[in-house]
Amino acid sequence: MRLSFRRIIFLVLVLLSLSLSILLLQSSTTLKQRWNEAWDTEKFDLDSYKAHNLETRRDFHYINYLYSGYYNFTKVFGNDIDRIKQTPLKDKCNVYFNQFYQRNPDWRLFTHNSPDYRFDKSSDKKHLFFKEEQKRLEDKFKKEKRGTDEQFVLTRQDNRTISNQFKEHIARSKEIMYEMADVTTSLRVYGKCFVDQPELDDNQKKTFDDLSSKFFPFLSQQLPMFKVQGEDRSTGWPIIKDDGSVEYKSDVVGENYIDFVKKHSKGKGIVISAATRHAKDVMKLVMILRALNNELPIQIMHKGDITKRSLEWIENAATADVAELLNPDTDTNQGSYMPELKLLESYKDFGSYFPKQNLQFVNIINCINKKYKFHFPGYSNKILAVFFSSFDEVLLLDADTVPLTPPKDFFESQEYQKSGTYYFQDRSLRDTNDFIETNFFTTLSPANEKSIDTLFDIPRITEKTLNNKYMTGWRHYQEAGVVAFKKSQHFMGLLMMFPLMLWTEPVHSSIWGDKELYWIALSAAGDENYEFNPVSAASIGEKTTLSNRKFYPNSPSNEVCSTHPGHVNQDGKLLWINSGFGYCKKNGYFRDRTKFPFSVFDKDELSQLYSSPLQIRAALVPPDLPRFRQPGNPVDDEPEEQFKRSWRFRQKDIDEINEKLPQGAQRTEFITEWGPQKGWVKSSICFGYYYCAYDKVQSYSADKEFDEGRLFEFDEQSVKMYNYLSKVWNTAALRKPGFSKSST
């Protein structure tokens, strides 16, 4: 058949079309990529990262948060804010929680323990995210291409993939933060509607009970068990009736756990959270309490993780006769610690009469649902201890805390009388936090005028919170070795601690243990009625007097080096110290003997120092640091970075100058050319627990030479008292009283 020219052209076009279609099908992904590349203008350089970080901080800033159900709530009232404010509380509560149930019928407090669904604190650090992901890609490539000559090349497509991952991280983090903020908002409204109300009708009680189970799903129906002193049996929670009689309850079946604890926490006392590993410290603490003539009852809270033998040791330390307790034959250490001080002969000279202690062991293991058994590790047990204690007014003590004044003094302090709390400040270390952390905690708090909180007349946080040391950039604000806390006055603040503990991130990595939790939770509850001791933490010990033992021998600054932070009130009275009474928290004499200043000590002198108790002669409080971040979480971090950069132009301290020394380089042991640049300088002595404190530090201001702290030197009478308490603490033996050398 003869083909015409037109037919040939037609066939060619058909073949070309088919070929092109096949090519398009085969390379559609490539074409799409090329199309995207043509329109892709994203840059992957440091300036672009910084601009993106700024944009993220603006987006995340707490002023943008609004409760997710806000407009649904106001719509019921015709969006008339004045009308809402004038509506009776009960009616507003009904509307709020009816909508809450409609939106979240199966809601319970979430824990965010899944690694795949967590708040990411690098959300405003795009450069770091890229650096980590690029390193991960390179490591993966090298592993796959091991043994070849191929070199890793980071492509633009790699960067785009990382960028998409980062955007997902940001979106997820913002979503989680707002979910958490919705929870704290609803918890505040729950408190306003139910917890703070003296009387509830049947419908309100039903809602209160159901919401309590949703907000606190970790609570079982079991109450703590209180071991009867001197007996093996235990009782339930003591309920004091109007006629003075006592009833004991072992569960809250048919009752509201939250309501029960609030109504039946009575009296005041000391609370200690402990396990077997704390037994020795607890026994020493009980001895100190007896020496201070403590008459407050003591509750030692545990989860069944303390041995019967430990309980016996502690109970005997609390109840043994003083003649037996201080008998030098019961402890071989009596003669080695200050042998001239005979405790049994002289305790009355120090005003002690060693009253027997009213001591209870409280087992809370069955109070927590088994599903949540591992959700309260470590320091979080202290919050459980406060909640499950039957006391209303709690003096919470760490096991290794040493009070140096009668415990009742904390309750009688001006701070506690004013607020129902007494908190203490931590060391003023030059250790910063991030915008993402302080902004997160502010977002969880009632910070904005346009908010559900305003409609329910819940107080907004003020400069008291926004201007404090943590919120203005310094990581360490509160020291939690001693906390005085009135539960009935701050009950919603106590309840607010639970979600903060259960939310793994970013809470756990933003604070050290439980340290900041006590004020953060109160602020998040809209309760700023808490008070701190006005004086920051001090270094407790002896002032260095010999110039050849000073780290800065030519400086006019005083120096006190110690492993023990302590706390002095504004009148100069030493209230308590941390980390026991031993010289070194962890004895590392052999390890430390070559380190300055111990390298210039006589061998016997150093050995004696490490085997002796802490000598309290002075307390040195370094100067406070200037603000690192301005109040209100400004999104522009350039002033912070500029402040940090200024540190490079300051001289280096001992803890900095010896960092990353080249191999074989000689360490600098002391500095004669300049004085301390920081108030607290860390040393590797005592396994890194050793800090030297200075009261004259090169100023951060150009207007003066020094920023100045305070040195408190104690009089002879006080020193004798500290020596006496030191011997009581150090000679407390882990054995039953009645045991003596002669009985072996």
The per-residue pLDDT for range 334-348, each reduced to its tens digit, is 667 788 899 999 999
For residue 740, the model assigns a pLDDT of 47
Span 442-486, pLDDT tens digits: 999 999 999 999 999 999 999 999 999 999 999 999 999 999 999
Span 103-124, pLDDT tens digits: 989 999 998 777 788 899 989 9
Question: 76 falls in which pLDDT band (50, 70, 90)?
Answer: very high
Asked whether the predicted pLDDT for residue 741 surpasses 50, the reply is no
3-state secondary structure (DSSP) of residue 578? coil
Question: 744 falls in which pLDDT band (50, 70, 90)?
Answer: very low
pLDDT > 90: what percent of the chain? 76
For residue 49, the model assigns a pLDDT of 92
Judge whether 470 and 477 are in contact, CB under 8 Å. Answer: yes
Among 343-352, 371-380, 571-580, 612-621, the minimum mean pLDDT is found in 371-380
**288, two tokens:** 């100190």
Asked whether the predicted pLDDT for residue 26 surpasses 50, the reply is yes
For residue 101, the model assigns a pLDDT of 97
Domain boundaries along the sequence of the chain: 46-211, 218-412, 538-713
Among 531-535, 697-701, 703-707, 729-733, the minimum mean pLDDT is found in 729-733
From the list 692, 739, 62, 84, the residue with the least C-alpha distance to 436 is 62
576 secondary structure, DSSP code: E
Sign of torsion, CA 306 239 421 729?
negative
Asked whether the predicted pLDDT for residue 264 surpasses 80, the reply is yes
For residue 114, the model assigns a pLDDT of 77
> What does the mean pLDDT of the chain come to?
92
* 672 vs 19, residue with greater confidence: 672
For residue 147, the model assigns a pLDDT of 81
Query: Whole-prediction pTM value?
Result: 0.92
For residue 37, the model assigns a pLDDT of 57
**Average pLDDT of span 393-420:** 98
Asked whether the predicted pLDDT for residue 559 surpasses 60, the reply is yes
Span 189-248, pLDDT tens digits: 999 999 999 999 999 999 999 999 999 999 999 999 999 888 888 999 999 888 888 999
The contacts of residue 230 (CB under 8 Å, 6+ apart) are 315, 319
Asked whether the predicted pLDDT for residue 359 surpasses 60, the reply is yes
Residue 710: CB atoms within 10 Å = 16
**Average pLDDT of span 46-56:** 94
Written as one string, the DSSP assignment of 280-304 is HHHHHHHHHHHHTT--S-EEEEESS
Judge whether 276 and 305 are in contact, CB under 8 Å. Answer: yes
Asked whether the predicted pLDDT for residue 534 surpasses 90, the reply is yes
What is the spatial order of strands in the sheet that 234-235 belongs to? 234-235, 225-227, 359-363, 298-302, 268-273, 393-397, 478-486, 421-425
